[in-house]
Amino acid sequence: MCLFQFTARRLVSQAHCGLKASSAKGQKFALEMARPSSNMADFREVFAKAKHIAIITGAGVSAESGVPTFRGAGGFWRKWQAQELATPGAFARNPSRVWEFYHYRREVMLSKHPNAAHIAIAECEKRLSKQGRSVVVITQNIDELHRKAGTKHLLEIHGSLFKTRCTSCGNVAANYKSPICPALAGKGAPDPETADAAIPVEDLPQCEEDGCNGLLRPHVVWFGEALDPDVLTAVEKELDICDLCLVVGTSSVVYPAAMFAPQVSARGVPVAEFNMEATPATNRFRFHFPGPCGTTLPPALARHETEIIS
């Protein structure tokens, strides 16, 4: 078993936003590393030779599409932050409130569109596939904007706002209904003065499998829950074979995703970070391109002069 697989399996039981990198160790490691390059021409030469490209994306790639993150100062829905609602315990105590929160997020996302970064990634994947080269997107985002942009090879490690899972039979299904159920129509307003709708459980989204009618929940990884082991295994396989890795719009402090790119870099694979600012992992990478992803990524992934287009 490779080092990546060992470490990943050790961390799989941790909450998807529950562990953060050790700043002391990170700073010590950074002092031992050369500063990353921001030379786009050098990156483009590496890009032109890559056969298997892995692109790891986080909230920053969707920020330019106007997607709310519910993090940091002002990151509230009504009186609560996401970590107070996105937990199994919160859903058990008040499924109506949690569904209002996710209904609001679903409705917001239905009005959002992929930005230049999403489109650049999808177009790169389509173009390189015709050359016998592969691109996989490993995203922490649950907004499906990569899918909307046309990305085909997509691993959503935290699930999707537009999938549900039955709490009784376990069935997972895509669900793009608006509203997801009649009782949630017009509900979910984020204003802190808005009262809970207090929707009875029997009126919340229900499983449509024959004879089930169980309560549905969003098919997302909540705080305190494990990542899907099948998805994580697929991520491991892709990162084991990639010969170029891009880290786009992620803070590199949330485990286990924060360890993906540093471990790829540790085996000598070039890693390029595209982010608004430096992160705790920046000095472990060969390249760092600061600025909005929608500005820095399109020229990085554009057709290289050596590419042969059939």
Q: pLDDT by residue (tens digit) across 167-193?
A: 999 999 999 999 999 999 999 999 999
Residue 66 has pLDDT above 50, yes or no: yes
Question: What are the Cα distances from residue 275, in Å, to 100, 212, 287, 300, 303?
Answer: 32, 45, 11, 13, 21
At 68 the pLDDT is 83
Query: Is 64 labeled as ligand-binding?
Result: yes
pLDDT bin (cut points 50, 70, 90) of residue 32 is: very low
Query: Is 264 labeled as ligand-binding?
Result: no
In the chain, list all ranges with CATH 3.40.50.1220: 38-67+114-158+227-305
Ranges 19-23, 70-74, 117-121, most confident: 117-121
pTM here? 0.89
Query: Is 99 labeled as ligand-binding?
Result: no
Query: Is 242 labeled as ligand-binding?
Result: no
Q: pLDDT by residue (tens digit) across 117-150?
A: 999 999 999 999 999 999 999 999 999 999 999 9
Query: Is 61 labeled as ligand-binding?
Result: yes
Residue 224 has pLDDT above 70, yes or no: yes
Coil, strand or helix at 284: helix
68-111+159-220 CATH fold = SIR2/SIRT2 'Small Domain' (3.30.1600)
In the chain, list all ranges with CATH 3.30.1600.10: 68-111+159-220
Query: Is 32 labeled as ligand-binding?
Result: no
Task: Tell me if residue 158 is catalytic.
Answer: yes
At 16 the pLDDT is 41
Contacts of 92 (CB under 8 A, 6+ apart): none
Rounded-to-integer distance, Cα 154 and Cα 128, Å: 15
Question: What are the Cα distances from residue 19, in Å, to 15, 172, 254?
Answer: 7, 27, 6
- For tokens 């790639």, the residue is 61
- For tokens 């904007």, the residue is 145
Query: Is 223 labeled as ligand-binding?
Result: no
Query: Is 171 labeled as ligand-binding?
Result: no
Helix (H) or strand (E) holding 76: strand 76-77
Domain 38-67+114-158+227-305 has CATH 3.40.50.1220: yes
Q: Which of 16, 118, 158, 219 does the annotation list as catalytic? A: 158
Residue 237 per-residue DSSP state: H
